A and B are shown apart, each in its own frame.
Chain A
Amino acid sequence: MTPRWRTRLLVGLALAVIAAAIYFPILRRRVQRAARLQQQSEEQARRELTLTLPANPGQPRVRTKLFWASSTEDGVLVPTTVDLPLSDDPVLRAKQVLNTLLAGPVDTELRTLPPDAALLEFYLLPDGTAIADFSEALATSTPSGIQSEQLAVDSIARTLEADVPQVQRMKILIHGQEMETLAGHLDLTGTFVVNTKPAPAPTSQPSATSAPAADKASAESRKLTPGSVPGKLAQPGHKP
């Protein structure tokens, strides 16, 4: 190989390396975009599944309390009572009431949760610990602030307290992951105390005609409490 060809070869290699160095970041961006699209479509699919959770019309209608913001008092939740055909199964029932809560009140100004948030999954452990897994929109679209984040979590917990007495405490996940805060303020590393009353025995079915509502006065005066160390579920029996 003559020196001239060797030079040309080296120049060619150098140009190829430079071109690769420019192209790799573009390729990386495309791969990341594709991964994001895939993640979004998976979340959309899960959301569609959960949103189409049927409320069995054959079930007797149950008086259900949903907690949204007060129209007259700043930073306060008030219960709205509606009759819904709810399942007797506590997990299905929790999904039904939370999906109705997420759908929001007639007056959208009073909603406590962002309209694009969805409940992805809901689990109930034998000790009464519920794990509610929400879509990322709950974290990204809830207005940032102590008051707004507290109202969002409070509305979920108090709705569960009123309508699903089997839930004793609640852990919130965002897209299957534990988050440090909801939108920069409220601590999501622990569990929130939902119901301080002992859960009903598993054999007893909730009455179709009477609402399993908690005591209103105690519920409205109580605040949520993280009940455990981060990453661990609360020990039973811990209450504020």
Chain B
Amino acid sequence: MEIIKLEGITKVYRTSEVETTALENVNLTVRKGEFLSIMGPSGCGKSTLLNLMGLLDVPDKGNILINDTRITEMKDGEMAEFRNEMLGFVFQSFHLINSLNVLDNVELPLLYRNSTAKSRREAAVKVLEKVGLSHRMRHFPTQLSGGQCQRVALARAIVGNPQIILADEPTGNLDSKMGAEIMELLFQLNKEGTTIVMVTHDEHIAESTQRIVRFFDGRRVE
């Protein structure tokens, strides 16, 4: 079953002086439960692709369908709800909120749903245990190392039980041991049924996923 479908996607970035084509006429299908890697040299549009899949950006040309629903026809409120229920993000630069502690950061997605404070707290604690950070619950992001921050970001991504996780270079800032732990968690989630689309430049890590898609200069090459 096709959970994500991209048809003829084109995205161009315009500044007052230059025009850069980030993606040109891209077609991509992601099946439910898949663990997909997207690879390519830096600047080839991988992150852009992920942003589009995550509805963080709009394509200039083409269609995006998630669960057979056309994204372009959605209103802002619908899109927000969609993002909240279906998607989980792990960003390369973590993007944790510095003025909230770890626990509050992880709870954040649940704030946008109808839930009680108690249930939110329970879910967050549970997921922090899963990533092995329950002893740092009251700390602030500025007091954590890179690896710990990434684990918090991952916890945040999964706290709402999303169907799809979009991860942008999740191991990019970590040493090999940390990186392996993160990948371990991702594989675990995938086994439990979550679809994972991961952008990476690490060949070794990509090999262990189910499918690799390669990009070069905004176009798919494999």
A and B: real partners?
no
A residues with a Cβ closer than 8 A to B are none
